[in-house]
């Protein structure tokens, strides 16, 4: 307990803060960074998560949603219809929308709905009318950007296939708008009865049949879903419940959130070191004051209370400011990622989260200050009598342990809570590996430097300064911060170099879909003049289907769980999507270009002539499904089960962005199936518009996807993401530099004394500046090279191990990165130390206590 | 007032035991004015620190005003100090962020005295610094700082004043005035005064004088009585 009245304690605390304000500024800056980053990250993640969670049923448009690539009316009648349930039908497909004069064409996503749509959630129109009224009598409703892109307005006509429609209104808000990330084109809503008139749905067309179901009063959603799931699966129908609606969107948001969170925690780790170090220096600077107070009769409780209050005084304004900036951050993030999220997303800052941010700031400030605060107990008042060391120096090891415990354990816990335990472990593993590399490299470098015996005094003093206690922590903190930024930098350089720069060569200009068999030859004739070379037009037969059985065993929940459990033990992540997704299936007589056979053999001429029934599967898919060469696999294709043995496995380089398939049948398997064709055409960018017009004018049912432009916009999004990541990395470097600044502050007196003594002996100020320059240049060099080692290792692991691509060391960029690192450290160090070198010699030497 | 019996103080340095004080015996009665002299490094300041209760003896007994220091925690000793011992240092050791008045009021505040500020002001007036109440240490001369330190040491009217070479950092004239002030205060409140000094000229003003030799042994110098 404190024996000082609180007013006196507060007054003393405040005066202490003011007196040591330069050092306190480091503490406050580190705390501000932590609170701003963590509040911002949590605000962003929870905002994204809440957006998806709150609208889960509305996103689905009903309590349950069933969808398949074929009409499944019989299934609905037999399995779904029940008293009290409401069922609504719809379709979704892509189509080319045209203006009546056919001057403008645009790929759109059409949704045909009934007058009851949606069963859950709402569709808001700009003019405020109902959707049913807008869709009556040949009306359609479109997304606003369609009007902009096609130069149309309300009341204008729009052609979809053979149908002519009137644009009645624009969509203000649609329930699942939030989750349409990479939509191929704007949404168009038309009345379900009008769909047939477009003649766009033909045999084998890529169309999604949908049934929305609202349950009867009192029916339990989970029970009904469980009951329906297996039967739907068997029938090749996908059942979506609110909890798993938009699972890919949820997964993306969750991972994005976890990534932001973990990067925020890295900032916390580095800032924690900075805060602990700054508080350690503050206590060190106040040793005499503490000893004096103890001599006057202040007990440990009073001293702890005094410095505890001081921590609170300096924490609160920084934490408030940090929380404020953190609450504003999501706006910045949303505008940086403007293309990724729809403009309808509106963010409202939560004052409660702000308060939690302040509370967290206070907690972290006190926990990181705890070590130095406890050290005040060990400061002996006897030091005032004999001028000897009286304790109060805070151990680096204790600080590292505190910071590691405060950051890594919650990191794992949070990641686990969010269902991303593996990501959490990967992060912690990468961090520990980085730590090990930086630590080992720093220790080895310092051990080597200690053995050096420079002839020049400047060199001797610089080495002594670098190798002094505390230097290790600074090197590791700087190395880690720089390592993170370098890793992000080299990852994005590798991505830029190897994926984005290869785009024009690898990615075709267009994907044309829904080409009917009788249109193949006329289509070829139209596109041939545009093709850059003979090989640049590829036509592939496709059909959609779902997996229904493996080795004759129906795809039950049990089987999926069993295979997945085995898969999880092998690889540690879920393969459920492999069982439930709809596959685009193709047939080919030859091994697709760019694919590599890894097991089994490709079918021979004579086998093809004999009508061989076989499947070729992508090797990772086969591994996930737990099947091997010789096993049989059954697909449901338009309601008909097709079974064939697995003949071989292929390795596919998905990164090439060519036309690749998970499953390729031997031609005989799909000979009777209602195939459509998918074509890729490569043409120079300047000829793209003419090719687009030529195809869409002649074939109204064929949809064109401007794949090169889509890939470019995706690459644009990747760059935007990389920018966010770089900003977070920059914050981590600032945290690392704060640790350096704290170290410089800690050695302030020592440096001033050394400089004064040397100058007394005849050293010039320039020579002393040389000492400081050498010390920080060496420090920067060791930290930068350690950071470079970390970044090369981590980026190589990601590029080679995760992305299955070639890693590039980029020697010039590596050199520039190290140079920039050294420059940054020298400038920061010099800024802190320069003032001490300039102080008059006698003023330093005669410096006395008050 | 002060009883020191068979006191030993040793340190472990580079895994070797370094004995600073050995078998020290000393008895000072209430109200006595004593000095301790000895060569540099003989352990004078250490002995003072033991009497102040800021260091713990590694052997023997230290008792001040009947309060046995043995087995007491640092906090117990701090609480004892705030009412019973005032200390004056060579380096002043004022709290740099506080004004002269606040520095002097600090021990009273720690002791829970209600009108601390008023008493501190009276004490500063007594040492001739009524015009410097709101000045901070950096705005004061060496002599003025030591006057503030003396006012702070006496403000709680402790039974014992310890002074560690209080004039070591001052010029001769100022030193003379500071010592006069100290002796004046000691006499006024009949305080026990224990002074560590190199100044042999002060011998005549002492009731008793002790010498500490390099071996850590204390001997009373005969004829030291006034």
Residue A461 pLDDT greater than 70, yes or no: yes
Residue among A348, A351, A398 nearest A370 (CA): A398
pLDDT recorded at residue A570: 45
Residues of chain A contacting residue B48, judged by C-beta atoms under 8 Å apart: 385
Residue A572 pLDDT greater than 60, yes or no: no
pLDDT recorded at residue A466: 77
Q: Residue A62 carries which DSSP code?
A: S
Averaged pLDDT for residues A16-31:
83
Residues of chain A contacting residue B87, judged by C-beta atoms under 8 Å apart: 295-296
Residues of chain A contacting residue B74, judged by C-beta atoms under 8 Å apart: 294, 299-300, 377
pLDDT recorded at residue A252: 62
Cβ neighbours for A561, distance < 8 A, ≥ 6 positions apart: none
Q: Is the dihedral of CA A475, A480, A482, A483 positive or negative?
A: positive
Contact criterion met (CB < 8 Å) for B45 and A18: no
| 3-class SS of residue B143 | helix
Contact criterion met (CB < 8 Å) for A4 and B75: no
The predicted-structure confidence for A825-836, as pLDDT tens digits, reads as follows 888 888 877 777
The predicted-structure confidence for A205-238, as pLDDT tens digits, reads as follows 778 889 999 888 888 888 888 888 888 877 778 8
A305: burial class by Cβ within 10 Å (0-12, 13-18, 19+)? buried
A179: burial class by Cβ within 10 Å (0-12, 13-18, 19+)? buried
**Can you tell me the distance from the alpha carbon of A565 to that of A574, in angstroms, rounded to the nearest whole number?**
9
Contact criterion met (CB < 8 Å) for A849 and B111: no
**Can you tell me the distance from the alpha carbon of A526 to that of A520, in angstroms, rounded to the nearest whole number?**
10
Which residues are A162's β-sheet partners?
none
Contact criterion met (CB < 8 Å) for A296 and B81: yes
Comparing alpha-carbon positions, the chain A residue that sits nearest to B51 is: A382
Contact criterion met (CB < 8 Å) for A19 and B91: no
The Cβ of residue A619 has, within 10 Å, a number of other Cβ atoms equal to 16
pLDDT recorded at residue A107: 82
Contact criterion met (CB < 8 Å) for B55 and A384: no
Residue B181 pLDDT greater than 80, yes or no: yes
The predicted-structure confidence for A513-544, as pLDDT tens digits, reads as follows 888 888 889 998 888 888 877 667 888 899 88
Residue A568 pLDDT greater than 50, yes or no: no
DSSP E strands in A502-536: the ranges are 510-515
Residue position matching structure tokens 């000895």: B38
- A637, two tokens: 């294709």
Buried b (16+ CB within 10 A) or exposed e, A156-178: eebbbbebebebbbbbbebbbbb
Mean pLDDT of the residues in chain A = 79
Comparing alpha-carbon positions, the chain A residue that sits nearest to B55 is: A382
Residue among A707, A580, A558 nearest A636 (CA): A580
If one compares A8 and B79, the residue with the highest pLDDT of the two is B79
Residues of chain B contacting residue A376, judged by C-beta atoms under 8 Å apart: none
- A716, two tokens: 């644009």
Min Cα separation A8/chain B (Å): 8
Contact criterion met (CB < 8 Å) for A295 and B96: no
Helix (H) or strand (E) holding A112: strand A105-113
Residues of chain A contacting residue B145, judged by C-beta atoms under 8 Å apart: 850
| 3-class SS of residue A669 | coil
Residues of chain B contacting residue A15, judged by C-beta atoms under 8 Å apart: 97-98
pLDDT recorded at residue A504: 47
Provide Rg for chain A, Cα atoms. 33
Q: Which of A11, A24, A297 to mutate to test the interface with B (most CBs of B within 10 A)?
A: A297
* Cα atoms in the 13 Å half-sphere on the side-chain side of A674: 15
Of A5, A8, A297, the CB nearest to B78: A297
Residue among B27, B75, B16, B33 nearest B162 (CA): B33
Provide Rg for chain B, Cα atoms. 17
Comparing alpha-carbon positions, the chain B residue that sits nearest to A17 is: B97
Q: Write the ipTM.
A: 0.80
The predicted-structure confidence for A88-117, as pLDDT tens digits, reads as follows 999 988 888 888 876 778 888 899 999 888
Averaged pLDDT for residues B195-206:
81
Residues of chain B contacting residue A297, judged by C-beta atoms under 8 Å apart: 78-83, 107, 110-111
Q: Is the dihedral of CA A587, A588, A592, A597 positive or negative?
A: positive
- Sheet harboring B192-196: ordered strands across? B85-88, B160-164, B192-196, B33-37, B208-212, B218-220
Averaged pLDDT for residues A482-488:
79
In chain A, % of residues over pLDDT 70: 79
The Cβ of residue A488 has, within 10 Å, a number of other Cβ atoms equal to 22
Q: Is the dihedral of CA A24, A29, A32, A38 positive or negative?
A: negative
Residue B151 pLDDT greater than 90, yes or no: yes
Q: Could you give the angle at the alpha carbon of A146 between the alpha carbons of A140 and A151, nearest 5°?
A: 105
Min Cα separation B166/chain A (Å): 11
Q: Residue A656 carries which DSSP code?
A: G
Instruction: Please tell me the total number of residues recorded for chain B in this structure.
Output: 226
pLDDT recorded at residue A850: 47
Q: Could you give the angle at the alpha carbon of A429 between the alpha carbons of A423 and A433, nearest 5°?
A: 145
Residue among A391, A136, A134 nearest A286 (CA): A391
| 3-class SS of residue B6 | strand
DSSP string, B183-199: HHHHHHHT-EEEEE-S-
Residue A177 pLDDT greater than 60, yes or no: no
**Can you tell me the distance from the alpha carbon of A138 to that of A194, in angstroms, rounded to the nearest whole number?**
7
Contact criterion met (CB < 8 Å) for A850 and B92: yes
Of A289, A297, A299, the CB nearest to B107: A297
**Can you tell me the distance from the alpha carbon of A707 to that of A553, in angstroms, rounded to the nearest whole number?**
38
Q: For residue A819, name the pLDDT band (cuts at 50, 70, 90).
A: very high
If one compares A461 and B143, the residue with the highest pLDDT of the two is B143
Residue A244 pLDDT greater than 80, yes or no: no
- A338, two tokens: 């403007």
Contact criterion met (CB < 8 Å) for A297 and B97: no
The predicted-structure confidence for A607-650, as pLDDT tens digits, reads as follows 888 888 999 999 988 888 888 999 999 998 887 889 999 999 99
Lowest average pLDDT, out of A158-172, A220-234, A717-731, B8-22, goes to: A717-731
Phi, psi of B128 (to 5 degrees): 80, 30
Q: Which region holds residue B33: left if phi is over 0, alpha if psi is between -120 and 50, else beta?
A: beta
User: How far is residue A646 from each of residues A548, A597, A641, A666, B91, measured CA to CA in Å?
Assistant: 15, 13, 16, 10, 90
Q: For residue A52, name the pLDDT band (cuts at 50, 70, 90).
A: low
The predicted-structure confidence for A293-340, as pLDDT tens digits, reads as follows 888 888 888 888 888 888 888 899 999 999 999 999 888 877 776 656
Helix (H) or strand (E) holding A107: strand A105-113
Of A289, A293, A849, the CB nearest to B92: A849
The predicted-structure confidence for A732-769, as pLDDT tens digits, reads as follows 777 777 777 776 776 777 777 777 776 766 677 777 78
Comparing alpha-carbon positions, the chain B residue that sits nearest to A286 is: B95
Min Cα separation B139/chain A (Å): 10
If one compares A415 and A770, the residue with the highest pLDDT of the two is A770
pLDDT recorded at residue A113: 92
Q: Residue A392 carries which DSSP code?
A: -
* Cα atoms in the 13 Å half-sphere on the side-chain side of A818: 16
| 3-class SS of residue A834 | helix
User: How far is residue A671 from each of residues A425, A543, A614, A678, measured CA to CA in Å?
Assistant: 49, 11, 13, 16
Phi, psi of A516 (to 5 degrees): -75, 155
Q: For residue A169, name the pLDDT band (cuts at 50, 70, 90).
A: very high
Residues of chain B contacting residue A8, judged by C-beta atoms under 8 Å apart: 109
Q: For residue A571, name the pLDDT band (cuts at 50, 70, 90).
A: very low
Residue A27 pLDDT greater than 80, yes or no: yes
**Can you tell me the distance from the alpha carbon of A567 to that of B32, in angstroms, rounded to the nearest whole number?**
89
Cβ–Cβ < 8 Å for A628, A563: no
Residues of chain B contacting residue A19, judged by C-beta atoms under 8 Å apart: 96-97
**Can you tell me the distance from the alpha carbon of A237 to that of A225, in angstroms, rounded to the nearest whole number?**
13
B117: burial class by Cβ within 10 Å (0-12, 13-18, 19+)? middle
**Can you tell me the distance from the alpha carbon of A1 to that of A291, in angstroms, rounded to the nearest whole number?**
18
Residue among A153, A733, A258, A723 nearest A495 (CA): A723
pLDDT recorded at residue B86: 92
The Cβ of residue A793 has, within 10 Å, a number of other Cβ atoms equal to 16
Residues in chain B whose Cβ is within 8 Å of chain A: 45-46, 48-49, 52, 54-55, 74-75, 78-83, 87, 89, 91-98, 106-107, 109-112, 136-138, 145, 152, 164, 169
């Amino acid at each position: 307990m404190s024996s000082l009245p609180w007013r006196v304690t507060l007054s003393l605390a405040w005066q202490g803060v003011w007196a040591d304000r330069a050092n306190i500024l480091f503490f406050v800056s580190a705390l501000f960074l932590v609170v701003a980053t963590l509040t911002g990250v949590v605000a962003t993640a929870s905002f994204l998560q809440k957006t998806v969670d709150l609208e889960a049923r509305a996103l689905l448009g009903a309590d349950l949603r069933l969808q398949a690539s074929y009409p499944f009316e019989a299934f609905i009648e037999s399995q779904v219809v029940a008293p009290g349930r409401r069922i609504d039908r719809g379709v979704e497909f892509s189509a080319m929308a045209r203006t009546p004069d056919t001057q403008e064409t645009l790929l759109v996503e059409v949704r045909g709905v009934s007058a009851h749509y949606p069963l859950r959630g709402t569709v808001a129109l700009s003019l405020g009318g109902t959707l049913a009224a807008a869709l009556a009598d040949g009306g359609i409703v479109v997304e606003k950007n369609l009007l902009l892109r096609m130069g149309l307005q309300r009341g204008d006509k729009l052609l979809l296939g053979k149908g002519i429609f009137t644009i009645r209104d624009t969509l203000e808000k649609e329930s699942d708008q939030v989750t349409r990330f990479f939509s191929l084109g704007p949404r168009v809503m038309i009345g379900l009865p009008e769909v047939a008139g477009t003649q766009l749905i033909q045999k084998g067309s890529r169309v999604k049949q949908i049934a929305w179901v609202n349950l009867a009063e009192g029916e339990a959603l989970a029970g009904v879903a469980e009951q329906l799931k297996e039967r739907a699966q068997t029938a090749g129908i996908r059942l979506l419940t609110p909890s798993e609606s938009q699972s890919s969107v949820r997964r993306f948001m969750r991972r994005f959130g976890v990534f932001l969170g973990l990067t925020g925690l890295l900032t916390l780790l580095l800032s924690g070191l900075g805060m602990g170090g700054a508080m350690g220096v503050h206590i060190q600077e106040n040793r005499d004051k503490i000893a004096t107070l103890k001599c006057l009769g202040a007990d440990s409780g009073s001293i702890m209370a005094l410095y505890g209050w001081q921590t609170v005084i300096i924490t609160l304004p920084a934490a408030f400011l940090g929380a404020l900036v953190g609450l504003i951050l999501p706006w910045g993030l949303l505008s940086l990622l403007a293309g990724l999220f729809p403009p309808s997303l509106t963010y409202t800052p939560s004052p409660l989260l702000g308060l939690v941010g302040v509370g967290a700031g206070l907690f972290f400030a006190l926990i990181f200050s705890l070590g130095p605060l406890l050290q005040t107990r060990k400061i002996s008042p006897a030091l005032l009598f004999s001028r000897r060391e009286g304790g109060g120096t805070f151990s680096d090891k204790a600080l590292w342990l505190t910071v590691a415990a405060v950051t890594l354990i919650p990191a794992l816990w949070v990641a686990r809570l969010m269902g991303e335990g593996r990501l959490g472990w990967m992060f912690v593993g990468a961090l520990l590996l980085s730590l090990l590399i930086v630590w080992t490299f720093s220790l080895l470098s310092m051990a080597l430097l200690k053995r050096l015996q420079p002839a020049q005094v400047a060199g001797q003093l610089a080495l002594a300064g670098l190798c002094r206690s505390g230097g290790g922590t600074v090197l590791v903190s700087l190395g880690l911060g720089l390592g993170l930024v370098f890793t992000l930098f080299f990852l994005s350089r590798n991505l830029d170099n190897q994926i984005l720069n290869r785009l024009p060569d690898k990615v075709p200009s267009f994907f044309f879909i829904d080409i009917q068999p009788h249109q193949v030859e006329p289509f070829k004739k139209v596109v041939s003049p545009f093709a850059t070379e003979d090989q640049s037009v590829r036509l592939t037969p496709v059909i959609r289907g779902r997996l229904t059985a493996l080795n004759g065993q129906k795809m039950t929940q049990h089987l999926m769980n069993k295979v997945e459990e085995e898969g999880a033990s092998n690889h540690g992540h879920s393969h459920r999507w492999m069982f439930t997704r709809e596959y685009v299936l193709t047939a080919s007589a030859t091994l697709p270009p760019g694919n590599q056979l890894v097991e089994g053999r490709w079918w021979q001429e004579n086998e093809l002539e004999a009508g061989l029934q076989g499947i070729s599967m992508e090797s990772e898919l086969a591994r996930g499904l737990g099947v091997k060469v010789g096993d049989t696999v059954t697909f449901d294709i338009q309601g008909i089960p097709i079974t064939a043995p697995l003949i071989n496995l292929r390795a596919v380089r998905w990164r090439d962005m060519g036309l690749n398939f998970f499953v390729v049948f031997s031609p005989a398997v799909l000979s009777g199936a209602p195939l459509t064709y998918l074509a890729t055409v490569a043409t120079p960018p300047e000829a793209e518009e003419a090719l687009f017009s030529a195809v869409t004018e002649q074939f109204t049912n064929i949809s064109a996807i401007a794949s090169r432009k889509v890939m470019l916009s995706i690459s644009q999004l990747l760059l935007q993401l990389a920018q966010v990541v770089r900003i977070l990395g920059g914050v981590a470097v600032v945290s690392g530099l704060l640790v350096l600044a704290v170290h410089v502050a800690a050695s302030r007196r020592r440096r001033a004394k050394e400089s004064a003594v040397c100058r007394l002996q005849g050293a010039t100020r320039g020579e002393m500046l040389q000492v400081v320059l050498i010390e920080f240049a060496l420090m920067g060099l060791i930290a930068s090279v350690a950071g470079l080692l970390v970044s090369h290792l981590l980026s190589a692991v990601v590029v080679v191990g995760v992305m299955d691509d070639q890693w590039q060391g980029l020697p010039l960029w590596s050199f520039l990165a190290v140079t920039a690192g050294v420059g940054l450290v020298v400038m920061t160090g010099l800024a802190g130390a320069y003032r001490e070198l300039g102080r008059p010699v006698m003023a330093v030497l005669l410096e006395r206590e008050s | 007032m002060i009883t020191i019996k068979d006191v030993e103080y040793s340190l472990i340095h580079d895994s070797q035991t370094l004995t600073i004080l050995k078998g020290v015996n000393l008895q000072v009665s209430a109200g006595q004015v004593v000095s301790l002299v000895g060569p540099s490094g003989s352990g004078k300041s250490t002995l003072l620190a033991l009497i102040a209760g800021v260091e713990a003896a590694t052997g023997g007994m230290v008792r001040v005003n009947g309060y046995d220091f043995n087995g007491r925690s640092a906090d117990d000793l701090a609480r004892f100090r705030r009412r019973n011992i005032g200390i004056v240092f060579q380096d002043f050791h004022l709290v740099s962020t506080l004004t002269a008045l606040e520095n002097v009021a600090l021990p009273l505040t720690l002791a829970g005295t209600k009108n601390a500020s008023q008493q501190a002001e009276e004490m500063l007036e007594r040492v001739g610094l009524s015009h410097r109440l709101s000045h901070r240490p950096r705005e004061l001369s060496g002599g003025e700082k030591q006057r503030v330190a003396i006012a702070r040491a006496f403000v709680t009217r402790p039974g014992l004043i310890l002074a560690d070479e209080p004039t070591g950092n001052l010029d001769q004239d100022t030193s003379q005035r500071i010592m006069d002030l100290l002796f004046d205060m000691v006499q006024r409140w009949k305080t026990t005064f224990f002074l560590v000094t190199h100044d042999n000229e002060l011998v005549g003003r002492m009731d008793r004088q002790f010498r500490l030799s390099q071996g850590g042994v204390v001997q009373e110098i005969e004829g030291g009585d006034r």
